[in-house]
């Protein structure tokens, strides 16, 4: 189903123009140059008519030479004005694109994870890159240029009517036909462009997701199936573009036919007038030039108006993203230096989707400097605890306290500076080892990084890499093993000296030898800090000060390793199940 947009949303257009406010002088000067350009174009045929009828017809050679030089100077001046106008309007468009793209990206990184859970990455990329690029055409081939075209049309009409009103009316007799064709063209291309933008977002989302998950695609022999799906999406993208091409392909030939019809009428009526002595040769020649100059901007106005519509379609999508404030992080007002690390959850309720609670009144307290292990079956809500503490998501009821204050009252930057999270699936960005370590804080002393690497036992393996800390880990850290990526994430977490260390299944994806190294690193990391450890292997958390057992989002047990093993309950069941599996595997 096609989405019909309003003919022209002036409120949306005004909002786009306000973004250009820092460059208003450049915008005004560009518009001024465009107006001058329009006047010069309309002035040329009149000057040619004066030359033919005033000098050529009477044989005034010196006068003809002067007029020739004047025409040459006028053309050179017009070329300079045209260059400046085109350059400045395009530059203004690029400045607006730069500002808007920065604003959109800043908005994206301020959104809660809930937004990214529901929005394909490719869609966000489309909004940030190609949709914003389209807005540049609002300036380079849109608002300013269309104003210049309209002014040029008015100048041409003024000269035409002042020269011969009857020839003017004959020339304009086909204008209603042209305006109808332009109207149909504008509507058709507008709708096809909306479809194209939707298909581009869909294509980007599909390709990005499949490339990211290429390992799964190949392991499960999904190459042919995914290729078939891509072919379908790509075909829909092609069809959307072809619909736009169709309107262009049919509109411009129609315009050429209309222009040819106008010439025929003009030659017929003007030629008859010349034979009767009512129309001068220079006058008819000027009108032939006027027709060329008149229909060029009339034809362009339809196309440029379409550029404005395309830009507004893109702007509408971008501003809807920007205005989506319910997913935006709320900033607290309380500054937090170095936290003590006291954590408390009091009757916390949370759901990723409305009506599907993940945590049901979770309640616990963790003193500063102590370590809490959270265990439970898959889906029990373990990782949700981490997400809520770091405010990646917002809880719906209850309180989450850090050092006695609700976490939402702290400034986000201060809160997250005090909490370092090491995830099971470590994400490293393309760049050097050191750049990835500095993600937590860019001002970390290199000596501090080296000391932390030695402390957790990762310095030797980094030293063996080509270039050491300057080694490029490639996209997602693909040049390193799982264990190596994990150790780098430990350095990243510890280098900023956080008050709270959170480890989410940090050893579940590594071999036994690497696990021993990581366990030693974890022990060093937790010394003197509050720690929360989500553990898959229960044998690794026996020394935790407290163990929280979750089941279906509820606290079912609390105690130490020995206390929980002595009780009948879920913890002992999980521990015995793992012990049997390990024994059976041995």
pLDDT tens, position by position, 454-468? 887 788 888 888 888
User: Is the same domain home to 347 and 372?
Assistant: yes
Domain count, the chain: 2
- Is 255 a member of any domain? yes
CATH code where residue 23 lies: 1.20.1560.10
Beta strands of 413-506 (E only): which ranges?
Answer: 419-422, 500-504
**In the predicted model, is pLDDT for residue 210 greater than 60?**
yes
* Residue 535: DSSP 8-state: -
- The per-residue pLDDT for range 300-329, each reduced to its tens digit, is 776 677 677 777 777 777 887 777 766 676
- Is 501 a member of any domain? no
CB 65 within 8 A of CB 53: no
Nearest one of 195, 199, 204 to 123, comparing CA atoms = 204
pLDDT at 4: 39
Residue 228 makes CB contacts below 8 A (sequence gap 6+) with none
Share of the chain above pLDDT 70, in %: 90
Alpha carbon 268 to its chain centroid, in Å, reads 57
User: Is the same domain home to 346 and 313?
Assistant: no
User: Is the same domain home to 59 and 92?
Assistant: yes
User: Is the same domain home to 110 and 236?
Assistant: yes
CB 534 within 8 A of CB 505: yes
327, 359, 391 — which closes off a domain? 327
**Residue 94, CA atoms < 13 Å, CB-side half-sphere:** 6
User: Is the same domain home to 314 and 395?
Assistant: no
Nearest one of 506, 438, 427 to 474, comparing CA atoms = 427
- Is 529 a member of any domain? no
User: Is the same domain home to 152 and 276?
Assistant: yes
CB 322 within 8 A of CB 199: no
pLDDT at 2: 38
CATH code where residue 361 lies: 3.40.50.300
SS3 state at 94: helix
Nearest one of 412, 355, 367, 362 to 382, comparing CA atoms = 362
- The per-residue pLDDT for range 330-355, each reduced to its tens digit, is 777 888 888 888 999 999 999 888 77
SS3 state at 109: coil
pLDDT at 202: 83
pLDDT at 66: 87
Q: What is the mean pLDDT of the chain?
A: 80
pLDDT at 580: 62
The C-alpha atoms of residue 477 and residue 487 are separated, in whole angstroms, by: 12
- Is 482 a member of any domain? no
User: Is the same domain home to 216 and 354?
Assistant: no
- Is 458 a member of any domain? no
The C-alpha atoms of residue 49 and residue 170 are separated, in whole angstroms, by: 19
Average pLDDT on 415-428 reads 84
Buried b (16+ CB within 10 A) or exposed e, 106-137: ebbeebbbebeeebbebbbbbbbeebbbbbbb
User: Is the same domain home to 320 and 385?
Assistant: no
Structural domain that includes position 127 = 12-327
User: Is the same domain home to 340 and 316?
Assistant: no
- Is 41 a member of any domain? yes
Reported confidence tier of residue 399, pLDDT bands at 50, 70, 90:
very high
User: Is the same domain home to 93 and 208?
Assistant: yes
User: Is the same domain home to 198 and 89?
Assistant: yes
- The pTM of this model reads 0.67
**In the predicted model, is pLDDT for residue 6 greater than 70?**
no
The C-alpha atoms of residue 219 and residue 20 are separated, in whole angstroms, by: 50
User: Is the same domain home to 361 and 283?
Assistant: no
CB 385 within 8 A of CB 558: no
**Tokens 């030695």, residue?**
454
Mean pLDDT check: name the lowest of 62-66, 79-83, 244-248: 244-248
User: Angle formed by the axes of helices 24-51 and 143-163, to 10°?
Assistant: 20
- The per-residue pLDDT for range 280-297, each reduced to its tens digit, is 888 888 888 888 888 777
CB 117 within 8 A of CB 392: no
Residue 463 makes CB contacts below 8 A (sequence gap 6+) with none
């Amino acid at each position: 189903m096609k989405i019909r947009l309003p003919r022209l949303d002036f409120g949306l257009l005004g909002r786009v123009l306000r973004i250009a406010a820092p460059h208003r002088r450049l915008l005004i000067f560009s518009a001024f140059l465009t107006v001058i350009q329009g006047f010069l174009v309309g002035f040329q045929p009149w000057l040619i008519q004066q030359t033919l009828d005033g000098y050529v017809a009477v044989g005034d050679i010196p006068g003809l030479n002067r007029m020739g030089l004047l025409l040459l100077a006028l053309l050179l001046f017009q070329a300079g004005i045209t260059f400046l106008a085109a350059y400045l309007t395009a530059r203004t468009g690029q400045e607006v694109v730069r500002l808007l793209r920065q604003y959109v990206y800043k908005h994206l990184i301020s959104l809660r994870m809930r937004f990214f859970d529901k929005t394909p990455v490719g869609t966000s990329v489309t909004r940030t890159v190609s949709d914003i690029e389209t807005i540049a055409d609002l300036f380079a081939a849109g608002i300013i240029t269309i104003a210049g075209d309209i002014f040029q049309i008015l100048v041409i009409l003024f000269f035409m009517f002042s020269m011969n009103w009857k020839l003017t009316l004959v020339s304009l007799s086909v204008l209603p036909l042209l305006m109808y064709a332009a109207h149909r063209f504008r509507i058709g291309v507008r709708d096809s462009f909306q479809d194209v933008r939707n298909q581009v977002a869909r294509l980007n989302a599909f390709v990005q997701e499949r490339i990211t998950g290429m390992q799964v695609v190949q392991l499960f022999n999904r190459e042919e199936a995914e290729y078939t799906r891509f072919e379908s999406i790509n075909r829909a993208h092609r069809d959307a573009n072809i619909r736009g091409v169709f309107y262009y392909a049919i509109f411009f030939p129609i315009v050429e036919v209309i222009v040819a019809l106008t010439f025929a009428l003009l030659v017929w009526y003007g030629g008859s007038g010349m034979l009767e002595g009512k129309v001068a040769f220079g006058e008819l020649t000027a009108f032939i030039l006027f027709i060329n100059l008149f229909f060029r901007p009339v034809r362009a106005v339809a196309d440029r108006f379409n550029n404005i519509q395309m830009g507004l379609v893109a702007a509408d999508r971008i501003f809807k993203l920007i205005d989506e404030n319910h997913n935006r992080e709320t900033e607290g007002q309380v500054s937090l230096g170095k936290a003590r690390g006291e954590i408390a959850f009091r009757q916390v309720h949370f759901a990723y989707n409305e009506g599907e609670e993940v945590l049901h009144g979770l309640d616990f307290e963790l003193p500063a400097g102590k370590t809490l292990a959270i265990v439970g079956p898959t889906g029990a809500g373990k990782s949700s605890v981490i997400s809520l503490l770091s405010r990646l998501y917002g809880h719906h009821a209850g309180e989450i306290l850090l050092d006695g204050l609700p976490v939402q009252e702290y400034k986000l930057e201060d809160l997250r500076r005090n909490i370092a999270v090491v995830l099971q699936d470590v994400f490293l960005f393309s760049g050097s080892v050191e750049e990835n370590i500095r993600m937590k804080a860019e001002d970390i002393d290199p000596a501090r990084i080296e000391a932390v690497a030695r402390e957790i036992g990762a310095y030797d393996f980094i030293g063996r890499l080509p270039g050491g800390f300057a080694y490029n880990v490639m996209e997602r850290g693909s040049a390193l093993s799982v264990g190596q990526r994990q150790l780098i994430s430990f350095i990243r977490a510890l280098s900023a000296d956080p008050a709270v260390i959170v480890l989410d299944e940090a050893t579940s994806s590594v071999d036994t030898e690497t696990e021993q190294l990581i366990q030693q690193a974890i022990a060093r990391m937790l010394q003197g800090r509050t720690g929360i450890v989500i553990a898959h292997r229960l044998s690794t958390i026996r020394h935790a000060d407290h163990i929280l057992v979750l089941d279906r989002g509820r606290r079912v047990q609390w105690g130490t390793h020995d206390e929980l093993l002595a009780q009948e309950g879920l913890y002992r069941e999980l521990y015995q199940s793992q012990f049997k599996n390990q024994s059976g595997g041995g």
